[in-house]
Amino acid sequence: MNHSTSGQGKGAIELRQVTKRYNNECVVDAVSTTIAPGEFFSLLGPSGSGKTTTLMMIAGFAEVDHGQILVDGTDIVEVPPQRRGFGMVFQNYAIFPHLNVFDNVAFPLRARKVPKDQIKERVSKALELVRLERFVDRFSRQLSGGQQQRVAIARAIVFQPSIVLMDEPLGALDQNLRYQMQVEIKDIQQRLGMTVVYVTHDQEEAMNMSDRIAIMNSGKIEQVGRPAEIYENPATKFIARFLGEANLIEGTIEEVSGDVAVLRTAGGLALSARLTEPVERGARANLFVRPERVAIASEVGIATDPAVNCANGRVVQTSFLGNILRHSIEIGPDILVTVDVQNASAGLLRTAQENVVLSWPVADGVILQR
């Protein structure tokens, strides 16, 4: 089961205007995107955003009301799920309680009438990949949640599919085990070169594992991109808030110069940020900046570097979050800015009501209109 077994450049997926309605509700609304062979592609979004329904349409378990799903250039909308040849990992593992580990993993091979000697060899290799070779004779009740999840993964990859679909597969695991499994799934995916479409509502999980992420909201894809790209340059306020902590400062665009705009708040504060799309003077907008990009200092007056935003503020609240010290700073009427500081040494946590100066590079902020 070496890198070349899973597909040799196969596993390209294209969704064209894929739509799903339940009664009068449009749960997936004309979704279009492409997934490259061998890519780890995540559908990320809150509950009810349409991500699982999209995955189920790719799998063939939900009917497509409109649109096309192409795999390696062929429309598979009319192909029944069992003939699509995809590996599938569900959140609840769906392993058979009456079969031991070996027989669970061998099940897809027997269904495909693979010769007996090949079954033994392939199951052994799959169990080796998920580090369960010592557990062949155990039944699901004798396995931990993490081990059951490994069985489900081994069963999904044992017949060497070019595409594996995963629906919140780590949702039932505790935090430490989840991280370990993320690393293992990503490692298996890279070694086998298979395409993975992965559904999750966990932002960190998506950022840790994915080559690209599609963020879904109300049945539509709002943005597709590499994790760092979306994190640094969210297209909308929803994405800014959904993917990590975000500061959104409201105001009016006062000036536009090249790819930088000046936003003036209701309290009269002028702040600058990058533009990722054109904006009109006088338009209402938000300045977005991540909490870890904002520096906090004792009040020493305002610097005048045009490449840096500065604002006087007052500490409203402080929180100790272990590795991070989080401060809520008021910099104007109804304007609270969250500032995260690494807990690198004791004594960095500010006290409430303390006067401070906040600063952040203009390049670290983005103007968002939507």
User: Looking at the predicted structure, is the pLDDT value of residue 236 above 90?
Assistant: yes
Given this model, what pLDDT does residue 7 score? 41
Measure Cα distances from 235 to 214, 277, 286, 352 in Å: 12, 9, 12, 34
* Mean of per-residue pLDDT scores for the chain: 88
Type of residue at 12 = A
Range in 4-18, 78-92, 223-237 the model is least confident about: 4-18
Q: Note the residue count of the chain.
A: 370
Measure Cα distances from 318 to 198, 224, 341 in Å: 36, 34, 11
Given this model, what pLDDT does residue 346 score? 55
- Predicted confidence band of residue 9 (pLDDT cuts 50, 70, 90): low
Which of 341, 293, 334 is CA-nearest to residue 316? 334
- R_g of the chain, CA atoms, integer Å: 25
Q: Which domains does the chain have, with CATH numbers?
A: 13-237 (3.40.50.300), 246-368 (2.40.50.100)
- Please state whether 296 falls in left (phi above 0), alpha (psi between -120 and 50) or beta: beta
Given this model, what pLDDT does residue 57 score? 95
In terms of pTM, does the model score above 0.95?
no
In DSSP terms, which residues pair with 335 in a beta bridge?
332
Sheet with 66-71, side-by-side order of all strands: 25-35, 13-22, 66-71, 74-75
Percent of the chain with pLDDT over 70: 94
Given this model, what pLDDT does residue 5 score? 39
The C-alpha atoms of residue 136 and residue 114 are separated, in whole angstroms, by 19
- Predicted confidence band of residue 78 (pLDDT cuts 50, 70, 90): very high
Q: Give per-residue pLDDT as tens, 178-210.
A: 888 888 899 889 988 999 999 998 898 999 999
In DSSP terms, which residues pair with 219 in a beta bridge?
none
In DSSP terms, which residues pair with 19 in a beta bridge?
66
The C-alpha atoms of residue 79 and residue 317 are separated, in whole angstroms, by 57
User: Looking at the predicted structure, is the pLDDT value of residue 8 above 70?
Assistant: no
Type of residue at 251 = G
Q: Are 33 and 214 in contact (CB under 8 A)?
A: yes
Tell me the angle at which helices 116-129 and 101-111 cross, rounded to the nearest 10 degrees.
130
The C-alpha atoms of residue 191 and residue 58 are separated, in whole angstroms, by 23
